[in-house]
Amino acid sequence: MSAPTPSRDSTRYWAAEPNSEIAAANVVERIARYRQWLKDTGRAGRMRRGWNTMYGRSPDGGGDTSQTRQSGEQGEYVDVTLNNFATLVTQVTVRTTSNKPAFKAIPTNGDSKSIEQAAFGQGLLEYYSNTHSVADRDWEMVEIGNILSEGWEVWGWDATAGKNLTDFTEEAAVNEGDLEIHTTTPFRVAYDPDAESIDRLKWAAFKRRYNRFDLAKGQEERNPEAAQKLRDMSGDSGMSREWDAGEDDLDLGGHVTSCSSDLVWVWELRHLPTPALPKGRLLRFVNSECVLYDSFEAVTGEDGEKSINDHGYPYAADELHMHRYCPGTVIGSIAGHAPSSDLLGLQELKDSVATMAATAANAGGITNLWTKTGDKLSVSQVAGAMNLLQSAQKPEVLEGVELSPQVPAFDAMLDQNMQARMGESDVSMGNVPKGMPGNLAALLEAKTVQYNSRGQASYAHVLERSRTGMLKLLKRFANSKRVAVLGGVTKGFEHKEWTAKDLDGVDRFVVEAVSPLNQTYAGKCDAAHELLTQGLITKEEYLAVRESGRLEPAFEGSVAMENAVRKEAQILVKGIGLAPIDVAKSFAGGTPVFVDDGQPHIRPLIYDKHWLHIVEDLGAIASPSGRDDGKIAAAVMGVVEERVRLMKLVDPVMMAVLGYPDEIQQAIMMGQGPMMMPTDGTAPPKPGESTSTPAPGMPGLPPGAPSIAAPKPAKPPKNPLTGEQSPSPHEAVQ
């Protein structure tokens, strides 16, 4: 059976081909075009040379840094392979990744629920970063990019991973699924090289090795024919029929037969929805004859008619979840570029200089012996280490081979050029010249960091995209309940049960590069000590930071308070205020007694930080529209007045504990004391003002309480001599 050939129908978009095998052949053709582009532009050759040099095989692949070799007609040369290339690439990789970015989850809206979900998403990011070794994958991506001009990080969803959700004894295993992440080289991906930029890619493909027997097991029910093809394959099968001889796998180091015959390469095409392909497409195949999955599912109806059930692209419609890191890009092209590619020729010269020096040292170190014999001079070697000279007359003294002084000078020039191309200096490489002023050394180091800023910006952009993509994957696929261990909750760790709904309010992550010192244990302890000296945390919280190495628990109370203040203001905007009041109980006790009617309300507590709430609450009626809405205005004023009343009842000791501002404490303590505020709109009596005049309401009761006049003073008894009624002191004053 011949392999399917690509479609030649010019009226149909190549990725919209309904036949899965022909569609796979179309993808193979696109992969071949991408690889031909790598060759035609010389990128493939440079990538191979960079890879060989990085791992000690010299640019041409014939060297070996682990040993010296003999070359020449009589083995007179001592071949030496150096690896300054790897030193500089590693230095740049470390510099790029050393400033560990800080991530911030951005909520979709400003409501309290979205803010709480964003805080949860922040903890979930840290959980997956630890459990999936994401930082290691980030390092690999940057290192590959610095060697080969571009490195790839691929995220996806593995439906076979995670906890098993079914009983093995009754039915086939169904797992909850989990994130998967891996890094790969540009030789194992393919994309449209004519795209304007990497952000405008509409499709990309990549390959990865899988156990063919595992794949066959998963295909048994839905595609028995493909399952049998997988079992019949060998480890170096795959797309061998699609390539010409010798080009079956354009990969680093050339094509090498797999050591394990159980593994085969599987290609995956990810195509975003476009006008030509409205729902997008996901296609997995080993070769055009063995398709493992296609979102275009061929269905045969009861009448025998065949149709296509288009399941569509399963991931987010705007996300390939394939992220590329490049130190730089070729202007006017989608191609990435790395300064390290310019080091390869210099590295070859370094190897030549090292070979010259080693050969000269080896020749100069050989001992010459002389014995008298006939007139003919002959030279032979004794035990491979000494030269034996024979002649009738003793020859003149022979000077040993000397190395020209231009050779080490040329070698030093090569070092300087290699460092300069990578933006490094002797200072950044740890070789500070003797006597160099400290300010000059600091300037050189700052210049080195500035030179690498483009690579760090690219790194931060990739991390932001990949973490936001992680959120999208979890929101799309994490439908079953699962457990994550989140740190910093109630000053410890919490096993949090969650589903995708807990991330509905999270929009994306943004990243900000922070000092690497802040991410270390010593840096966090220093920060905690500074906060302790300023009185911002307690000594118990400081000791907790030293014990756990985590700063987050020390601020959880402050963050929770800030969220509570914001949440109250958001509720007031909806016109929701205090709960209804039980008038009778409020009148009997002299303080408001609220009734629980089962509806959401704001319930201030005496030990809230009222001054924070009041400022935020009044913001709800700061705009004319808020003031014109009587329901919102009444809700705000009722809550604010209640908080003012409670604030005046707070014990001075608790004021100090809660951190009341000094001006508020002074205002409360200036003669007003714990006086209750009237809530009927009348002003409180001024200090020294008489309160004997009947008031329309009793101070301290909420609106709606019965109006009670103040009791009148008792009249004095009549004069027993005259029988006249003496005036009361109150009437005399009037």
Q: How many domains does the chain have?
A: 1
Task: Look at residue 547 and tell me whether its pLDDT is greater than 70.
Answer: yes
- Please check the confidence at residue 657 and state whether its pLDDT lies above 90: no
Kindly tell me if the per-residue pLDDT of 501 is higher than 50.
Answer: yes
Kindly report, residue by residue over 184-207, the tens digit of the pLDDT.
Answer: 999 999 999 999 888 889 999 999
Helices 344-364 and 43-54: crossing angle in degrees, nearest 10, is 40
For strands 386-391 and 367-372, give the pairing: parallel
User: Tens digit of pLDDT for each residue in 448-497?
Assistant: 766 677 788 888 889 989 998 988 898 888 887 777 766 543 334 556 67
pLDDT tens-place string over residues 556-593 = 667 677 777 878 887 888 888 888 888 788 777 777 78
What pLDDT, on a 0 to 100 scale, did the predictor assign at position 628? 83
Q: Which pLDDT band holds residue 42 (cuts at 50, 70, 90)? A: very high
Average pLDDT of the residues in 646-658: 86
pLDDT at 689 over 60: no
Q: Which of residues 293 and 376 earns the better pLDDT score?
A: 293
Q: Say yes or no to pLDDT of 142 above 90.
A: yes
pLDDT for the residue 692? 45
Of all residues in the chain, the percent with pLDDT exceeding 90 is 26
Confidence of residue 326 (pLDDT cuts 50, 70, 90): very high
**323 lies in some domain:** no
CB 581 within 8 A of CB 595: yes
pLDDT band at residue 144 using 50, 70 and 90 as cut-offs: very high
Q: Residue 292: its pLDDT value, please?
A: 93
Span 346-373, pLDDT tens digits: 999 999 999 888 888 777 666 566 666 6
Letter for the amino acid at 335?
Answer: A
Using CA of residue 274, residue 275, residue 280, residue 283, what is the dihedral sign?
negative
Length of the chain: 734
Tell me how far apart the alpha carbons of residues 660 and 668 are, in angstroms, rounded to a whole number. 11
Selection from 26-30, 485-489, 502-506, 629-633 with the highest mean pLDDT: 26-30
56 touches 347 (CB < 8 A): no
Q: What is the spatial distance between Cα 417 and Cα 346, in angstroms, rounded to a whole number? A: 8
Residue 713 scores a pLDDT above 70: no
Structure tokens at 630: 């009587």
Position 521 in a domain: no
Question: Residue 38 domain-assigned?
Answer: no
pLDDT level of residue 514 (50, 70, 90 thresholds): low
Q: What pTM was computed for the model?
A: 0.71
Structural domain range at position 575: 563-669
pLDDT at 204: 96
CA dihedral (167, 173, 174, 179) in degrees, to 10, reads 120
d(CA 660, CA 69): 79
- Between CA 15 and CA 278 the distance in angstroms is 11
Bigger pLDDT: 289 vs 362: 289
What average pLDDT does this structure show over 617-646?
87
Classify 547 as helix, strand or coil. helix
Geometric angle at alpha carbon 234, from 230 and 236, rounded to 5°: 115
> Which is it for the CA torsion 85, 88, 91, 93, positive or negative?
negative
Is residue 400 assigned to a domain?
A: no
695 DSSP 8-state letter: P
Structure tokens at 29: 């053709």
Q: Which residues contact 122 (CB under 8 A, 6 or more apart)?
A: 103, 104, 105
Q: Is 110 part of a structural domain of the chain?
A: no
Helix then strand count (H, E) for the chain reads 21, 21
Mean pLDDT of all residues in 615-636: 85
Q: How much is the mean pLDDT over the chain? A: 79
**Is residue 250 one of the residues assigned to a domain?**
no
Q: What is the pLDDT of residue 395?
A: 65
Q: What is the DSSP string of 366-405?
A: -EEEEEE-SSS-EEEEETTTEEEEEESSPPPP-PPP---T
Report the distance separating Cα 86 and Cα 442, nearest Å: 25
Residues 243, 247, 250, 254: is their CA dihedral positive or negative? positive
Residue 173 lies in a domain: no
Helix (H) or strand (E) holding 238: none
25-29, 144-148, 183-187, 262-266: which range is least confident on average? 262-266
Q: What is the mean pLDDT of residues 68-95?
A: 87
Question: pLDDT tens digits, residue range 225-264?
Answer: 999 999 988 755 555 444 433 333 445 544 445 556 788 9
Distance CA 284, CA 300 (A): 21
pLDDT in the model for residue 681: 47
**Segment 628-657 mean pLDDT:** 87
Classify 617 as helix, strand or coil. helix
Ramachandran sector of residue 350 (left: φ over 0; alpha: ψ -120 to 50; beta: rest): alpha
525 has a pLDDT exceeding 70: yes
Q: How confident is the model at residue 675 (pLDDT cuts 50, 70, 90)?
A: very low
pLDDT of residue 430: 72
Q: Which amino acid does the sequence have at 40?
A: D
Give tens-digit pLDDT for 207-220: 999 999 999 988 88
Whole-number pLDDT of residue 691: 45
- Type of residue found at 286: V
Other Cβ atoms closer than 10 A to 243: 17
Say how far apart CA 697 and CA 694 lie, in whole Å.
Answer: 8
3-state secondary structure of 639: helix
Rounded CA gap, 602 and 615, in Å?
A: 16
Task: Specify the pLDDT at position 266.
Answer: 93
Domain annotation covers residue 603: yes
